[in-house]
């Protein structure tokens, strides 16, 4: 009950913050209806038209977009659907997800080692892709100066696994124990919901998630998922 109330409170605070910022912009522009965060291009153009505000427009836009991201993650966490399990090709999901994040690699080397002749999984392709995508995004964000992102698939007794490894700064023991706690984050501007979403998806698939990490030695997340019934 307490965690549910905390979630609702966090969502309301983020939403109210956006409303207040947009209201402030409306006053600044002295318009009946000022530019909206929903139209970043129009907002940017309007702000740069004011000499005293133009130099700060990038910062304002970044803050507004960060708040929008927070709202999106809260909403995703709140309305996470139950998976519709169907026979799914794990390698195909991984390849598609990697392709979506390739443009965000920013100097990071991306390596994929996908197991051969893997059987199908009982999985929701969309939700599984979201979970893997969250892990890939986390890994890339952990390596702003470059590094290696390694994604592997393989078979284990009774199931398949996906490993997402980065060569970032790694985690302390305390950080590892709190990783899946809602609102806990090691990133500036993070919501602490990304890994909670991953854990929820994996649990709903009857699987589990493991973490290996040491300070200075990177981090590896492993999703272990059951096979589809034959």
Predicted confidence (pLDDT) at residue 39 exceeds the cutoff of 50: yes
Please name the residue that has the structure tokens 């019934």: 229
pLDDT bucket at 21, cuts 50 / 70 / 90:
low
**Correct CATH for 86-226 of 3.30.1130.10, 2.60.40.1260, 2.40.160.20, 3.30.565.10:** 3.30.565.10
Domain ranges of the chain: 2-78, 86-226
Residue 223: Cβ-neighbour burial (10 angstroms; 0-12, 13-18, 19+): buried
- pLDDT for position 86: 92
106-129: average pLDDT? 93
Share above pLDDT 90 across residues of the chain, in percent, rounded to a whole number: 42
Which position has the higher pLDDT, 184 or 200? 200
- pLDDT for position 230: 44
**Tokens at 210, concatenated:** 């493991």
pLDDT bucket at 128, cuts 50 / 70 / 90:
very high
CA–CA distance, 167 with 178 (Å, rounded to integer)? 20
Full-model pTM: 0.66
Q: Which of 25-34, 64-73, 175-184 has the highest mean pLDDT?
A: 175-184
């Amino acid at each position: 009950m307490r965690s549910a109330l905390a979630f609702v409170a966090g969502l309301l605070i983020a939403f109210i913050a956006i409303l207040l910022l947009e209201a402030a912009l409306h006053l600044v522009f002295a318009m009946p209806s000022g530019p909206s965060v929903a139209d970043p291009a129009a907002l940017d153009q309007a702000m740069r038209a004011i000499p005293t505000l133009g130099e700060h427009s990038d910062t304002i836009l970044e803050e507004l977009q960060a708040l929008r991201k927070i709202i999106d993650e809260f909403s995703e966490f709140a309305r996470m659907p139950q998976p519709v399990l169907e026979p799914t090709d794990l390698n195909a999901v991984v390849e598609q997800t990697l392709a979506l994040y390739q443009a965000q690699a920013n100097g990071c080397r991306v390596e994929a080692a996908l197991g051969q002749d893997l059987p199908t999984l009982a999985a929701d392709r969309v939700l599984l892709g979201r979970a893997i995508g969250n892990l890939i995004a986390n890994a890339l964000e952990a390596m702003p100066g470059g590094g290696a992102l390694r994604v592997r698939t393989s078979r284990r007794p009774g199931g398949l696994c996906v490993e997402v490894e980065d060569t970032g700064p790694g985690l302390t023991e305390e950080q590892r124990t709190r990783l899946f706690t809602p609102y806990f984050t090691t990133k500036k501007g993070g919501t602490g919901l990304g890994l909670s979403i991953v854990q929820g998806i994996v649990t709903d698939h009857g699987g589990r998630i493991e973490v290996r990490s040491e300070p200075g030695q990177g981090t590896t997340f492993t999703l272990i998922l059951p096979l589809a019934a034959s």
